[in-house]
Amino acid sequence: MAHLSVRTQKMPSGNAFASPVVFDFSGDIGQGEQILAYGVALSGFLLNYVTNSLDWAEPVGAVGASLTPNLFGDTVVLGGNVMLTDYHGDTARCFWDGESDPASVVQATALAVIGTSATTAVCGTTFGLKSGADSPPIDVPDGAENLAFLSGFSVASATGSRGYIGGLTLSSGVSSPLNDQVQVNGTTALTDFQSDGTVDIGLLSYLPDLTGFDVVRTVDVNWSAPDKENGMTGTFQATFTIPDGYSQIVNAAILLQDVTIVYGDTTTLELIEAMQSSDLTISGAQVSGSFILNIYNPDWGATTYITSDSTATLAVVAQFA
């Protein structure tokens, strides 16, 4: 038997570039247990320009967010990174830029399969998968539940030149099992712009013998109307059944699966965002929260905002105790 533990946090506000994000699972590891498998999930991102011109908004050359995990005993450490550049001196804003605008940041989640011996569960990430391609076959248990989610992405100009975009799309998926194997896949693209990209896709494959958690695979998000520079806010509530032997939800996290951000024009941007707006709220058997989608250009005479065609698909994972 094995159990799943969940941790989530933002990258440290002191440095959004190659920041170590530390997830300590020691409190969940019992006598004789260890972390048998682990994976990382992209739970949200905010990318905001700092420019070397009088404009707030700039064209785009490359956009991305990455999470590189390593296991050190009872701790999973992620090397988190963000990317926003126009190849012309304008980059993702970091904390030391001295402006009131938000720093670029990633919300990261770590999943750890904990037990005393080998487990049938599969928990991990396929890195650098070309957009639209399938991964090599991955062995999974017969009859397992298979859940794919985004772990990172990188998308850039296919020509090496900066340009205007009409939005951003991200997706993750997993094939139906064939001979106890699956393939994960995903896509990323800058809309109305010739771009190439790669995605990092996480996979959690499990049977009922992986305990201590549950997943609401597609939560119902109630999206507000776009509100200029405030973007679109979606509220959600995921209801779980706490199993026998457990009394409460102790940790919960968003697993980001798909994002579609649609701009009001094909133009420059200052900020692009798909991010939970605050910590999730746990109340009894329910987990609730809000999620923001945003893209905008605030420059005078060129203001452009997100449209209501934008959306995101979220799963919510909860850990019991």
pLDDT in tens, 13-28: 656 566 788 999 999 9
pLDDT at 90: 82
Lowest mean per-residue pLDDT among 23-37, 85-99, 222-236? 85-99
| Residue 170 Ramachandran class (φ > 0 left, ψ -120 to 50 alpha, else beta) | beta
Q: What pLDDT does 286 receive? A: 98
Mean pLDDT across 189-206: 97
What pTM value is reported for the model? 0.95
Two structure tokens written together for 140: 């999974």
Q: How confident is the model at residue 103 (pLDDT cuts 50, 70, 90)?
A: confident
Inter-CA distances, 48 with 94, 165, 215, Å: 9, 15, 31
Of residues 199, 216, 191, 205, the one with CA closest to residue 258: 199
- Range name among 97-101, 144-148, 149-153, 263-267 with the lowest pLDDT average: 97-101
pLDDT at 265: 96
| Mean confidence (pLDDT) of the chain | 94
Predicted confidence (pLDDT) per residue in 246-291, tens digit: 999 999 999 999 999 999 999 999 999 999 998 999 999 999 999 9
Encode pLDDT of 41-76 as tens digits. 999 999 999 887 878 899 999 999 999 999 999 999
What's residue 14's pLDDT? 59
Grade residue 93 by pLDDT with cuts at 50, 70 and 90.
Answer: confident
Q: What is the pLDDT of residue 283?
A: 98
Number of residues in the chain: 321
Measured CA to CA, the distance from residue 315 to residue 130 in angstroms comes to: 23
Q: Is the pLDDT of residue 118 over 90?
A: no
Question: Which residues partner with 132 through β-bridges?
Answer: none
What local confidence, expressed as pLDDT, does residue 58 receive? 92
Give the integer Cα–Cα distance in Å for 193 and 165: 6
Largest CA distance in the chain: 64
The structure tokens listed for 185 are 């896949």
Cβ density class 264-284: b for 16+ within 10 Å, e for less = beebbbbbbbbbbeeebebee
Nearest-CA neighbor of 259 among 280, 232, 239?
232
C-alpha dist (Å) from residue 253 to 12, 195, 213, 259: 17, 31, 11, 17
φ, ψ of residue 182 in degrees (nearest 5): -130, 165
Whether the CB-CB separation of 38 and 31 falls below 8 Å is answered with no
| pLDDT value at 97 more than 80 | no
Lowest mean pLDDT among 57-61, 80-84, 187-191, 271-275: 80-84
The Cα 237–Cα 280 span in angstroms is 10
* Cα–Cα distances in angstroms (integers) from residue 256 to residues 150, 158, 274, in the given order: 6, 25, 9
- Check whether 94 has a pLDDT greater than 80: no
